[in-house]
Structures are given as structure tokens and as C-alpha cells.
Chains A and B, each alone.
Chain A
Amino acid sequence: MIQLKHISKHYPVGFGKNEILKDIDLRIFEGEFVSIMGPSGSGKSTLLHILGLLEEPSQGEYLFDGEPVHKMNEKKRTQLHRGAIGFVFQAYHLIDELTVYENIETPLLYKNMPAAERKSRVADILDRFNIVAKKDLFPSQLSGGQQQLVGIARALVGEPKVILADEPTGNLHSDQAKEIMELFKQLNEKDKITIVQVTHSELNATYGHRIIQIRDGIIA
């Protein structure tokens, strides 16, 4: 489903360059649950951003469902974003001025979905995550775990093929973290959603099928 060929990424620093990723080859199959691990600054977040089209590689090829992403224009990429990829962030990144309901609804708005369908989709997901009672609250009124739940709900509502999670439990207590990881596992097994997560935690990594270790920009 996802195939990276000779991907590298560097930033210019002074007269030289700072290499973050070096010649990465990676394949992720449909239905997999992959954990990317590595020390700080190893390039794992950058890798995830490249997978999520938020950043462009300096070199190399990226095929998503067999299609060459690196050759797509901005518009095509945005469409891929909307249709196939859901993001979960460490800091949740909910929009403060929107309610829980509206936060979840936002991706659907960008898909130009009719109002009725939008409503039922959001209602479904609120129901499934047991947060119907919280739908009119603003993010600041929720605990961290609840905020992350909303973040995941927002990632899921567009029915993506793959969820990319950047340290989704990094800001949470261990209890809350466990809950979130169970949820990911369930999504992977029942809904057949491909999941790629970046994590520091050995424990969280074990929820996945496969662990990719990155060190100094190279897959170990």
C-alpha cells in the first residue's frame, strides 16, 4: 500500500546540509499496524510527515496504492489527504474555537459532503466513542485523554485507509494511553485500517505487528 524507495530528506544548514533521512526503503502493506521507534532526532517524525504528505522528501520515490505521490500536484495531494489519510497528533491539535462536534465535522466539510450524511457520520462516531454527551463542549473543557479521543474520531470520520499517529499517547497518563492503544488495535483488527504510529514506548509498540527502528536517519 505504501512504498518508499530511496527516500532521503535534508535541510540546508549554513553552507552544508543536515541529513535527517538517508536512503530509506520501506513497504507497508494494507491492514498492517506498524510502530516506528527511535531516539529523539532520529528522523521518525519526519518520516511520518513524509508518509502523511505534510512534508516532501528531498529525493526518492513515494508510491501510495501504486500511484507516484512525488509526481502529484498540490491539488491531487490534498485529495489523497482527504480520502485516504487520517492524522492523530501528540498535542491533539483540535481547533479551540470549535466544539467537539464541529471539530469532527471539519474534514467532512472539506470533502463537500451533504449535510445530512455529515450529520449521521458524526453522530455514528460520537456514539461509537461514547462521547455523545460531550459533543457541544469546547476542547479546553475536556481532559487530555478525551481530547485525543476526539482527535482520533476526527481522523476516522473521513473513513481513511491509513491512520498516521505521531506519539498519540505522549501527553497522556498510562491508563488513558492504554485505552487509546486498545482503540487503535480494535480499529486495525475490526475495521481493517492500516495504522502507522511513531512512539517512544516499548509497551505501545507491542500493540503493532511490526516495529521499525530508526537511528540517525537510517532504518536499523
Chain B
Amino acid sequence: MIKNYLKIAWRNIRKQKFYSFINILGLTIGMTCCFLIFMYVRFELSYDSFHKNKDRIYRVVTDVKTPTELIEADITSAPMGPNIKADFPEVVSSVRINQSNTLVAIGNNKYDEDKMVYADATFFDVFSFPLIRGNAKEALTAPFTAVLTESNAKRYFGSEDPIGKTFQIDGGKATIKVTGLMKDVPENSHLPFDMVLSLATAEAMGQNLTESWGNFGMLTYLLLTPGTDPAKLEKKLPAFMESHIGSTMKGNNMYYTLHLEPLKDVYMTSKRNAPVKGSMTNIYIFSIVAILILLIAVINFVNLATARATERAREVGVRKSVGAYESQLTFQFLCETMLLSLFAFVLSVALSQLLLPPFNLLAGKEIAYNIFSTGAIVWFLLIAISVGLLAGIYPALVLSSYKPVVVLKGAFSSSNKGLFLRRGLVVFQFVITIVLIVGVMIVYYQLLYLQGRDLGFKKEQQLVVEFGGVNNMKERWHDIKQQVLNVQGVSGVTFSSAIPGRFQNSAYSNIEMKNGEMQASNINLYFVDYDFIKQYEIKMVAGRTFLPEMATDSTQAMLVNEAVVSSLGYNKPEEIIGKKFDQWGRKGTIIGVMKNFNYRSLKETVSPLTMRIEPEAFGPLTITVDPKNIKKVIAGVEAIYSRYVPEGRFNYFFVNDDFDRQYRGDFRFGQLVLTFAILAIFLATLGLLGLISYIVIQRTKEIGIRKVLGASVNNILLLLSTDFIKLIAIALVVATPLAWYLMYKWLQDFAYRIDMPWWVFLAAGSVAVVIALATVSIQTMKAAMTNPVKSLRTE
């Protein structure tokens, strides 16, 4: 019986090549999107699931509360982890991790190492990163020891055995011995690294890890005993903090509250930062997009199948009159859909496999190499079967419900059965399409806005060279500046500890408030030289900038931005001039207030920032260059660099490019939405094409008669298009508030955002109308141009 069904299904597929093509192509595209997004979502949700103890690992995070603000940090200070472990028996182990970077030197070879971490010896107890060589318990106990990942060991030592080998870090300040070799860190780890140095190394190099309760910078993770309730442990932590540094917190008027976060929440759901962070919003958006695209394909199928139902009606009548149950016919038609769906499934699997590499690129990470090895194929098959059922059930029920008498009498021509549904589904498709078009336009509009927005400082033509490796910077920075300034094409040079768009330090600072009390808070900090403000064209709203002729400026002066002024409760910038500060051992007065400038991504509002002069901390050198001489300048600066840092590696970048890198993820998001929008439009057009070509065939006779009666080609076009234009108008009405709401939500991610322009909705509607009109016209043209005698004779 099934054989008979399949046979007739196969013959129908072949007979109706055009419709089969539309259906299979649509379902294949829909399923492929769905499969790829499925892989992506599954990958994103799999973060950190490879740790054996994943259910017992918790991250310790800190809420820092000052009278003016609450900072939700993802880090702790160094003493917290070990003391929690010592005070609470339910904590099996604690590990502290400090992300860092350095320049590794092996003989004459230099390697940038920007994915290294310092970690306690307990690192491998808590986390499951399997060691290939070395002892997991002892590899990180001694100072100056390191564990390398396989591929990093290969990078450093080639095929030689890395165990026992040594290398130098921080420009020769320390020699490190390799004590272990580990497998590469899986891509789905929220903590990416390719080298672990023992935390004892940092201690041996002078970092205080036992008493600096107020110095934040460590990621801390706890491994709890089985059955421990983390909520109960968390409740005991305030008392723990009180007993250790209660009086200090009170004295500084700065309070720390510790919380525990399950490891599985760190990457995806936690609102705090993490070394690598996922986005639940994106997961939702992509899942919904995948389902919508698949739905468009399913709707195409349902529309075509019900519109063409009359063609199969006679078969239904005959089969019923020779004794078929309705349920058998339903089953038969479902089988046909299933066959199509499985056909599309096979194509989709092949296509997904082919598209994995570009998709990995688009997603910006290695989600998978091989679809078949991941076990996802079972899920894909389930998806394909559900699609078959979803697409097939309604047409099958409609078809099998035909009454044989009605059908076989021949009085039955075209039914309006399902017409309302069909129209509804077309509207639905256009709603999806319009929402996606609006989405793409607004995403790109917003990103262009971000790139074009005045950041409050000059980012063009600013070349940055990292001079971090210079010994005795305090003595030499003047000379370096002078020499670089002499290079032809250089019009300005300034040293600082950080540049906009890149990481900057923050410091525990006391600043005088209106009432004369000193307020402690953690404030972002740039160390700059006298030319920084001028060269970055940062505006001043009160006071003055640093001046070389003022002797005290080099140690006792501070600039603050407007955000500091308002966070300390001052009404006018002028009021803070002359107030006292105490920061990292330096005391002095505030001499000027800078206008807020966006030194971080425009996703954030400008947070408080202080600037001081501290040549020891100088690293990046910003060079304002003449765009015509860029190559010469780079060569000239490189020569100077290699004189001062012979063991270093020359690196440079431009501030504007570097700043825009922060939006790379958003551009990637925009590209993905664009891709899916194009696919959605394509699928909807395909469905429309099928539907219209069928309607035109149905109405050939009517068109012929109308032409005989004097209708022009335009009249006919109008006649057939009006219906669809109406549907699109309805779709636009439905889509506008929906798109507005969704994009409003998306824009909330940005501190600086566009007002949604009204014309975007109109434009999206117009695009839909144009596409529909074009589709209708092409099909209708053919019918409208044929000689009516021909079409009428065939009747």
C-alpha cells in the first residue's frame, strides 16, 4: 500500500516539476537555515558543559556598593578565595585566575601571548582540562612554572618535547619552566587561554595576594562538596566579609557583597561580565528567525497544496468510490508531503555540511566541522518529520474530505475552500518579511550611527604604537617622544597608559565631596602626558589641562570628566576645581574638568574617568600622522622602537579601526540578520510566484474573455495585483508595531541609539510591494499577452 502511495507521490512530484521545485527548494532553504542555527544554538548552550564537576562549580562575584553607585563586578580580590576555602568546610577547593598577556621570548624568537592566565595550583582540581603530560596536582605549585596547551607548545617548541623547556616573559624579567602539557581548551569554554602560569609566579614577582582585600582583579571559582546548597553558603558570606574586613569597609564607606553564580550561568545568562560572553537575546532572535524561515517554507507548501487541491480532487473521488477510507487518503497525502520533506532533508543535510565553514566564519567561532559526528542528525530528522507533518496535515485533511459525488459529477471546478486561510498565510509571510527588512535597516542604521557619531575626541589619523616594553620609561619617555616627533609626517605625539577603545585600569580613589568628606570609589584611570588632551582634541569644561610649567602638575594634579562631577554630587563642574584627591599613593588637587568623551564602546554611557601624569605607567604612544606618509612614519617609528626595545615586537594600529572593532559582534549580527532577511524574502517570493502562477492558470479563461471585451494588459495586471497589494497593506499594518517593538528592544543594548525613523517602515512596505508586483507582473504578463482566441479555444 505504502509502495503504491510512494509511487503516485513520486509521479506527482515529477509531473508537477515547477511546484515540486518550489516546494523542495523552499523546504531545503528553510531546513538548512534551521539546521545551521540549531547547531549554533546548541553550541552556545553547551558552554562549560565539559567540566566533570560543572554542577558543583560556582563563580564568586562581588557587588561593590559606594554611597553613589553599585558596581556589579565579575571579579574578586585575591584573598577572598583562599579565605572562603579556609572558613567553610563545604568548599572543597578554590581557584583564582588572573587574565594577563605578555611577550614570550625563546632564544631570539618572540611570541605575543595574549591568552595567558595565572592560576592557583588547584586549577586542575576544579576544572576538567585534561593533562597530556605532567602531574595535575603539582604542575602549578612552584613559582615560575607553566602548563602549555598542545597547539601553543607546538608554536613555541615545534615537535620537541616541551616538558622541562624554559622561556622568558615580560622582557626577560622571569624565566618560566614548562611543567605540563594539556589538551587545547575547547572552543566552548568561557575562559579561553593557551598557557597557564602558576599564580605563585605572580607572587614571586611582587604581587601581594594575601592582604590586598580591596584590590580587585581575580576571577575566583569554588568547587563545593556534593549536596551543598549554594544559597545557604551565600547567606553566610556577609558575616565572613564582616569578620575579615568589616572595619575597613566602614572606614572607606565602600561595601562588598559576595554572590555565588553557577558555572553554567557564567557564559550565557549572568548579567555580569566574563572573559567570553554569550548573548541570550541573540539565541532567542536566531531561534525565532530559524522557526520563521521554516514557517515561510511550510506556508508556501500549504498554500500551493490547497490552491491546487482541485487537481487532486478527482483522484480522491475515484479512490473513495473504490473503497478508500478518508483516513487512508489523509495518510496517503501525508506520505507525499513526508516524501518531499525527506527529500529536502537529505538536500539540507548535504547543504548544511557544505555551508558549515562559511557559517563558522559568519558566527565567528568554530561551531562544528562535521554535522554527522555531532549526533545532531537525529534532531534534524525529527525537525524534517515535524515539518512534513506540519506542512502536510492541513492539505491532507482538506483533500481527503472531498465528497466523491460532488467531485465526480464534474460540477466541481475551483473551490474557495481555504481561500481565507491562504490569504491569512500570505499576510503572515509578508509580516515576517517586512519585520526582517525593518530589522536589517535599523541594525545597519544604528551601526552607521555609532561609527559616525562624534565621540568627543579625535580618532582619525591617530597611529598607536605599543611602547610597553621600554625599561626605565620614567627617564626615557621625553627622548622617545622627541625622536618620533622628528619623523617626517608626524604632527603630534603623546604617551598614555591606555587609549580609547582599549582596556584601562581602575583605581581605588578618594575624592573630596561637597561637604568636605573624602569619598572612596573605584574609578577608571588614564595616565597621560601633557599633550594628551590637546592631541586627542578633548574639550575642557572647567579649569585647565596639565601644564609643563606648573611644577606640581607632574605629581599633584588630576583631571576628571563630567561623569565624576555628577557622581560625586556636584552641580557645576567649576565646583570640583581645587578639591582634594588621594589615589594610589598620590595626593593633590583637581585642576580641570574634561567634557565627557566616549572612551569605551557607545553601548555604554560615559563612566567616571580620572587622568594623572605618571610616566612609569606609560605604554601606548599615540602618533598623529599625515595620511600621505603613513608607510614612512611606520618605518621611522619602528626603527626608533627597536632601539629602545630590542627584544620586543613592533605592533601598531589606528585608533578609529581599533575602536570600531568593538562593534564587530554587532556587524556580524547585522550580517546574519541580513542573510536571513534575504532568504526570507526569497522564500516568500517563491511562494508568491507559485501561488500566482496557479491563479493565472485558473483564470486564463476569465482573462481571455476580459480581453475580448476590451481589457488592456494593464487592466489585467491591476485586476490580478490588487488582491495581493491589499494583503501587503494588511501585513504592513500588522508588522509595523511588531517590528517597532522588537527593534526598540534591540536598541536598548546601546546607550547611544537612533530614533527609529518612520520612513524605514514605509521603505520596508515598499520593498514588499515592489517584490510582489514584480512577481505578479511576470506571471500575469504571460497570461495577459496571449491571444485570447487561443486560451478560449482550449476550454
Q: Which residues of A contact B320 (CB under 8 A)?
A: 54
Task: Check if B413 is an interface residue, CB within 8 A of chain A.
Answer: no
Docked CA distance A81–B404 (Å): 13
Within 8 A of A (CB), among B377-424: 403-405, 408-410
Docked CA distance A202–B315 (Å): 32
Q: Which residues of B contact A192 (CB under 8 A)?
A: none
**How far, in Å, is A92 (CB) from chain B's closest CB?**
9
8 Å CB contact of B323 from A45, A55, A78, A98: A78
B324 touches A97 (CB 8 A): no
Q: Which residues of B contact A55 (CB under 8 A)?
A: 405
Task: Check if B318 is an interface residue, CB within 8 A of chain A.
Answer: yes
Return the chain B residue nearest A86 by Cβ. B322
Q: A93-B318, A109-B1 known; A82 and B410 CB under 8 Å? A: no
Q: Which residues of A contact B325 (CB under 8 A)?
A: 74-75, 78, 110
Q: Which residues of B contact A158 (CB under 8 A)?
A: 322-323
Task: Check if A154 is an interface residue, CB within 8 A of chain B.
Answer: yes
**How far, in Å, is A150 (CB) from chain B's closest CB?**
12
Docked CA distance A111–B325 (Å): 11
A97 touches B322 (CB 8 A): no
Within 8 A of A (CB), among B707-722: none
Task: Check if A3 is an interface residue, CB within 8 A of chain B.
Answer: no
Task: Check if B233 is an interface residue, CB within 8 A of chain A.
Answer: no
**How far, in Å, is B354 (CB) from chain A's closest CB?**
34
Task: Check if B321 is an interface residue, CB within 8 A of chain A.
Answer: yes
Q: Which residues of B contact A82 (CB under 8 A)?
A: 322-323
Q: A54-B405, A106-B322 known; A97 and B8 CB under 8 Å? A: yes
Task: Check if B319 is an interface residue, CB within 8 A of chain A.
Answer: yes
Task: Check if B701 is an interface residue, CB within 8 A of chain A.
Answer: no
A107 touches B405 (CB 8 A): no
Q: Which residues of B contact A95 (CB under 8 A)?
A: 8, 315, 318-319
Within 8 A of B (CB), among A82-98: 82, 87, 89, 91, 93-98
B410 touches A52 (CB 8 A): no
**How far, in Å, is B20 (CB) from chain A's closest CB?**
13
**How far, in Å, is B231 (CB) from chain A's closest CB?**
60
Task: Check if B328 is an interface residue, CB within 8 A of chain A.
Answer: yes
Return the chain A residue nearest B4 by Cβ. A109
Task: Check if A102 is an interface residue, CB within 8 A of chain B.
Answer: yes
B405 touches A110 (CB 8 A): no
Chain A, interface residues (CB within 8 Å), range? 20 to 34
Q: A55-B405, A93-B317 known; A81 and B12 CB under 8 Å? A: no
A97 touches B15 (CB 8 A): yes
Q: Which residues of A contact B322 (CB under 8 A)?
A: 81-82, 87, 106-107, 110, 154, 158
CB 8 Å contact bits of A102-144 with B (1 = contact, 0 = none): 1001110111100000000000000000000000000000000
Q: A54-B404, A81-B323, A91-B410 known; A102 and B317 CB under 8 Å? A: no
Q: Which residues of B contact A79 (CB under 8 A)?
A: 323
Q: A89-B408, A93-B314 known; A106 and B12 CB under 8 Å? A: no
- Counting residue pairs across A and B whose Cβ atoms lie within 8 Å, the total is 67
B321 touches A54 (CB 8 A): yes
Q: Which residues of A contact B478 (CB under 8 A)?
A: none
Docked CA distance A160–B321 (Å): 13
8 Å CB contact of A97 from B11, B326, B328, B410: B11
Q: Which residues of B contact A111 (CB under 8 A)?
A: 323
Return the chain A residue nearest B5 by Cβ. A109
Task: Check if B7 is an interface residue, CB within 8 A of chain A.
Answer: yes
Task: Check if A49 is an interface residue, CB within 8 A of chain B.
Answer: yes
Within 8 A of A (CB), among B111-140: none
A81 touches B321 (CB 8 A): yes
A106 touches B319 (CB 8 A): yes
How many B residues, CB 8 Å from partner? 26
Docked CA distance A198–B428 (Å): 50
Docked CA distance A184–B430 (Å): 58
Docked CA distance A49–B317 (Å): 13
**How far, in Å, is B5 (CB) from chain A's closest CB?**
9
Docked CA distance A52–B323 (Å): 11
CB 8 Å contact bits of A171-203 with B (1 = contact, 0 = none): 000000000000000000000000000000000
Q: Which residues of A contact B328 (CB under 8 A)?
A: 110
CB 8 Å contact bits of B286-321 with A (1 = contact, 0 = none): 000000000000000000000000000011011111
Return the chain A residue nearest B407 by Cβ. A93
Return the chain B residue nearest A81 by Cβ. B323
CB 8 Å contact bits of A49-89 with B (1 = contact, 0 = none): 10010110000000000000000001100110110000101
Docked CA distance A78–B319 (Å): 11
CB 8 Å contact bits of B599-633 with A (1 = contact, 0 = none): 00000000000000000000000000000000000
Docked CA distance A105–B8 (Å): 13
**How far, in Å, is B325 (CB) from chain A's closest CB?**
5
Return the chain B residue nearest A155 by Cβ. B322
Docked CA distance A211–B322 (Å): 26
Within 8 A of A (CB), among B204-255: none
**How far, in Å, is A75 (CB) from chain B's closest CB?**
7
Return the chain B residue nearest A75 by Cβ. B325
Docked CA distance A91–B321 (Å): 14
Q: Which residues of B contact A87 (CB under 8 A)?
A: 321-322
Docked CA distance A89–B318 (Å): 10
B321 touches A52 (CB 8 A): yes
B4 touches A106 (CB 8 A): yes
Q: Which residues of B contact A78 (CB under 8 A)?
A: 323-325
Return the chain A residue nearest B311 by Cβ. A96
Docked CA distance A95–B326 (Å): 17
Q: Which residues of A contact B8 (CB under 8 A)?
A: 95, 97-98
A102 touches B7 (CB 8 A): yes
CB 8 Å contact bits of B324-354 with A (1 = contact, 0 = none): 1110100000000000000000000000000
**How far, in Å, is A110 (CB) from chain B's closest CB?**
4
Q: A93-B318, A98-B8 known; A107 and B15 CB under 8 Å? A: no
Docked CA distance A111–B321 (Å): 13
Docked CA distance A91–B320 (Å): 16
Return the chain A residue nearest B12 by Cβ. A97
Q: Which residues of B contact A54 (CB under 8 A)?
A: 320-321, 403-405, 408
Q: Which residues of B contact A49 (CB under 8 A)?
A: 405
Q: Which residues of A contact B11 (CB under 8 A)?
A: 97-98
Return the chain B residue nearest A138 by Cβ. B11
Q: Which residues of A contact B314 (CB under 8 A)?
A: 93
Return the chain A residue nearest B11 by Cβ. A97
Q: Which residues of B contact A52 (CB under 8 A)?
A: 321
Return the chain A residue nearest B14 by Cβ. A97
Q: Which of A82, A95, A107 has the most CB of B within 10 A?
A: A95
Q: Which residues of B contact A93 (CB under 8 A)?
A: 314, 317-318, 321, 408
Return the chain B residue nearest A82 by Cβ. B323
Docked CA distance A98–B10 (Å): 11
Q: Which residues of A contact B7 (CB under 8 A)?
A: 98, 102
B323 touches A107 (CB 8 A): yes
Q: Which residues of A contact B15 (CB under 8 A)?
A: 97
Q: Which residues of B contact A91 (CB under 8 A)?
A: 408, 410
CB 8 Å contact bits of B667-700 with A (1 = contact, 0 = none): 0000000000000000000000000000000000
Return the chain B residue nearest A103 by Cβ. B318
Docked CA distance A158–B8 (Å): 21
Q: Which residues of B contact A109 (CB under 8 A)?
A: 1, 4
Q: Which residues of A contact B410 (CB under 8 A)?
A: 91
Return the chain A residue nearest B325 by Cβ. A78
Q: Which residues of B contact A94 (CB under 8 A)?
A: 318
A-B contact pairs, 15 of them (CB 8 A): A54-B320, A54-B403, A74-B326, A79-B323, A87-B321, A91-B410, A93-B317, A93-B318, A95-B319, A97-B11, A102-B4, A105-B4, A109-B1, A110-B324, A112-B1
The 8 residue pairs across chains A and B that have the minimum distance between CB atoms: A82-B323, A107-B322, A97-B11, A81-B323, A110-B323, A54-B405, A93-B318, A87-B321
11 more A-B contacts (CB under 8 A) besides A102-B4, A110-B322?
A: A78-B324, A81-B321, A87-B321, A87-B322, A91-B410, A93-B317, A97-B11, A97-B15, A109-B1, A110-B324, A111-B323
Q: Which residues of B contact A (CB under 8 A)?
A: 1, 4, 7-8, 11-12, 15, 314-315, 317-326, 328, 403-405, 408-410
